[in-house]
Amino acid sequence: MQIFTCPFCGPRDEREFHFAAEAGKTRPDTTGEVSAETWATYLHAQRNDKGRTREVWMHLPCAELFLMERDSVTMEVFSTQSLRKAPQ
């Protein structure tokens, strides 16, 4: 059982967390033309990196959505970082 550090709450065990998405995806602007390829890539293409990964996770008790860098092989967590513009 892993320990993740919520940027607001601090270290908690993994049962409080939920994987949201791989980091780095931006929603295409759907007010303009979005090709089927672009949209399919946005929806379905996953990198599934072996090793160092950047992911978005949610800490369920406080609903904080944050960025986590971790190793998908050793399970080592390198950093967690809030998605908020100005951290408080």
Partner 1 sequence: MRDDTALWDVPRDPTHPIALGPATLTPVQLTRQTLVSGPNVLHQTDLPLVEWPGAAPSGPYALALRRDRVLQVNAPETPDGWNDTTQQATSDVTDAYTVFDLTGDALPLLGRGAEITPDIPSRSTARLLFGLGVFLYRLEDATTYRLHVPRAHAEALVKHVETAARLRAR
Partner 2 sequence: MTLRLPTGGLIDRSKPLHFTFDGKPFQGYAGDTLASALLASGPRILGRSFKYHRPRGLWGAWVDEPNAIMSVTLQGRTFPNCLATTTYLEDGMEARAVNAWPSAQFDIKSGLDLFHRWFAAGFYYKTFMWPDWHLFEPMIRRMAGLGHVSPQHLDDYSSDQTHERCDTLVIGGGPAGLAAAEAAAQSGQNTLLVDDHATLGGTAHQLPEIDATPTPDWIAARRSAIEAAGGRILTATTAVGIYDHNLVGLAQSGPFGTAPRLIRLRAGRIILATGAIDRPLTFANNDRPGVMALAAAAEYLARYATLPGRDIALLANTPEADTIAAQLTQAGATITRIDPAQNPLSARGGKRLTALQAGDRTHPADTILASGGLTPLVHLWRHAGGKLDWCEARNAFLPGTPPQNMTAAGAANGTFDTDQALEEARATGQNAPIKRPAPTHRITPHWPTPGSPGRQWIDFQHDVTLKDVELAARENYTSVEHLKRYTTLGMASDQGKTSNMPGLAAMAAIQGRPIPEIGTTTFRPPFVPVPIEMYHGPHSKQLWNPLKRLPLEPQHRTANAALGDYGGWLRPGWYGTGDPETRAQSEARMARDTAAIFDASPLGKIEIMGPDAEAFVNFIYYNTIATLKPGKIRYGFMLTEGGAVFDDGVIARLDANRFVISCSSSHVDSVRTHLEAWRQDGNDPDRIFIHDTTQHWATLTVTGPKARQILDTLDLDTDLPHMSLRETEWRDTPLRLARVSFTGDTSFELSLRASHAPALWDALTQAAKPLNAGPIGVEALSILRAEKGFLMIGKDTDGETMPHDLGFPAPRQKKTTPFVGDRSLHTDKANAPDRKQLVGLTVPSGTPPLPTGAHLVTEDAPPRSLGYVTSSYHSPTLGRPIALALVANGTDRIGDTVTAWHLGETRQVTISPPCALDPEGDRLDA
Distance between CA 86 and CA 81 in Å, rounded?
11
From candidates 30, 35, 46, 88, binder to partner 1 by CB under 8 A? 88
15 contact, one of partner 1, partner 2, none, CB 5-8 Å limit per kind: partner 1
The CB-of-72 to partner 2 minimum distance in angstroms stands at 12
46 binds partner 2 (CB under 8 A): no
- List the one residue out of 7, 3, 21, 1 whose CA is nearest residue 63: 7
Q: Which residues contact 62 (CB under 8 A, 6 or more apart)?
A: 6, 8, 9
Q: Which residues pair with 82 in a beta bridge?
A: 66
Q: Which stretch binds partner 1 (CB under 8 A): 10-18, 30-38, 42-50, 69-77?
A: 10-18
Distance between CA 68 and CA 29 in Å, rounded?
25
Question: What is the binding site for partner 2 (CB under 8 A)?
Answer: 1-3, 14, 18, 20, 27-31, 34, 36, 39, 43, 56, 58, 60, 63-65, 74-76, 83-84
